[in-house]
Amino acid sequence: MAANGTKTNKRIWVDGCFDMVHFGHANLIRQAKELGDYLIVGVHSDEEITKHKGPPVFNQAERYEMVRAIKWVDEVVEGAPYSTTIETLDEYNCDFGVHGDDISILADGSDAYKTIKDAGRYREVQRTQGVSTTDVVGRMLLLTKTHHKREGDAAPDANQVKNIQKLRTNSLKRDPTAHSPWTGVSQFLATTQKIIQFSSGKQPNEINRYCGSNYPIMNLHERVLSVLACKYVHEVVIGAPYVVSAEMMDHFKVDMVVHGNSQIFADEEGNDPYEEPKKRGMFVLVNNSSDLTTPDIVERIIEHRQRYIKRNEKKEAKEMANYELLRKGNSVNGHSVK
């Protein structure tokens, strides 16, 4: 407290589903932290998300841990209510709540932040254009199980190909009168300024990268920002080579190379990509405490394809309806869209 009894340290509240955590979520959190001194992030339960939005891809335990790993987060509240109220802000002694400049809608179609907006305890930051959970899920919905198998496996059958083409055509439509401006195919382009913001003012170095045939789901720039948002990461080498060479270890003065539970695939010539650090006695395998992999996540979505297609369509329909109201000057979200 200051001498006059006013509060000097601002406590900020942010909440969300944080499903398929990506750099857009991290950028919201980064901007929110800049508005205060201590950032509390509420993460909704699986039950709440299913009620208001549809089934999440990641379960609540996974989402809690992913949010805790984001560098700007000071505290995580598990099972936060979907509608942000004055009572929630007061319970955690927060000055105001923060959300992006898109729409967050409850199951009944109302604004999830209306009460704190009316009380003047709401702040808005710019939404990261070109990416959303709906978009990332949509990318995976364009895939089939066989698409992610290696050479020699069966190709998609005629019906699978037809469905993929239909989904791809629908997702690539750009008509703003028919598609929500907050849900769509990613058009994200990285800038040096954005990379500097995520890396605390440090500009990463660039070298080439070896990539698998069907992965990654996110492009290089998107993955760089996602990794930079992790509190345990100090630096990122953009486009790092698949093989950890002697030159690379010497250049970056590497003392230890670490790998998790996932399988280590040989390089294009059939060699162990970690041969050099193993030779130097500088290679360690660690237990991730989780066997979850990107193919596992893709499988979750593919196995429940229809559920996620319906979820995406339902979400976009709600967004579009509210967006049209905003365009007409209504105050559904507290401001008009021009």
CB of 172 within 8 A of CB of 239?
no
Q: How far is CA 36 from CA 89, 99, 201, in A?
A: 14, 14, 19
At CA 184, angle to CA 157 and CA 332, rounded to 5?
140
What mean pLDDT is reported for the chain?
A: 75
Can you give the pLDDT at residue 318? 66
CA gap 55, 43 in Å, rounded: 15
Taking the CA atoms of residue 220, residue 224, residue 230 and residue 231 in that order, the dihedral angle to the nearest 10 degrees is 160
Give the pair of three-digit tokens for residue 235.
Answer: 């630096």
Superfamily of domain 11-128: HUPs (3.40.50.620)
What number is the average pLDDT over the span 289-312? Answer: 74
3-state secondary structure of 217: coil
Can you give the pLDDT at residue 139? 67
Can you give the pLDDT at residue 257? 96
Tell me which of 27-41, 66-80, 320-334 is least confident: 320-334
Can you give the pLDDT at residue 329? 61
Over its C-alpha atoms, the chain yields an Rg (Å, rounded) of 22
3-state secondary structure of 97: strand
Name the most confidently modeled range: 152-156, 161-165, 222-226.
222-226
- The full set of domain ranges for the chain reads 11-128
Tell me which of 184-188, 293-297, 301-305 is least confident: 184-188
Instruction: Tell me the per-residue pLDDT of 213-271, one tens digit each, with 9 for 90 and over.
Output: 456 677 777 788 888 889 999 888 887 888 999 999 999 999 999 998 888 888 878 89
Which of the two residues, 91 and 110, has the higher pLDDT score? 91
Confidence grade of residue 204 (pLDDT, cut at 50, 70, 90): very low
Which of the two residues, 300 and 29, has the higher pLDDT score? 29
b/e for 29-43, b at 16 or more Cβ within 10 A? bbbbbeebeebbbbb
Which residues neighbour 304 within 8 Å (Cβ) at sequence distance 6 or greater? Answer: 55
CB of 25 within 8 A of CB of 32?
no
Can you give the pLDDT at residue 192? 59
Q: How far is CA 30 from CA 125, 191, 200, 230, 324, in A?
A: 10, 16, 10, 11, 29
- Cβ atoms within 10 Å of 218's Cβ, excluding its own: 20
Can you give the pLDDT at residue 14? 97
Which of the two residues, 194 and 168, has the higher pLDDT score? 194
Instruction: Tell me the per-residue pLDDT of 107-151, one tens digit each, with 9 for 90 and over.
Output: 677 788 889 999 999 999 987 766 666 677 666 666 544 444 444
Which of the two residues, 119 and 297, has the higher pLDDT score? 119
What number is the average pLDDT over the span 206-216? Answer: 47
3-state secondary structure of 114: helix
CB of 239 within 8 A of CB of 208?
yes
CB of 205 within 8 A of CB of 240?
no
Residue 38 has pLDDT above 60, yes or no: yes
pTM of the model as a whole = 0.65
CA gap 162, 168 in Å, rounded: 10
Give the count of alpha carbons within 13 A of 183, CB side only.
Answer: 25
CB of 191 within 8 A of CB of 327?
no
Of all residues in the chain, what percent carry a pLDDT higher than 90?
34
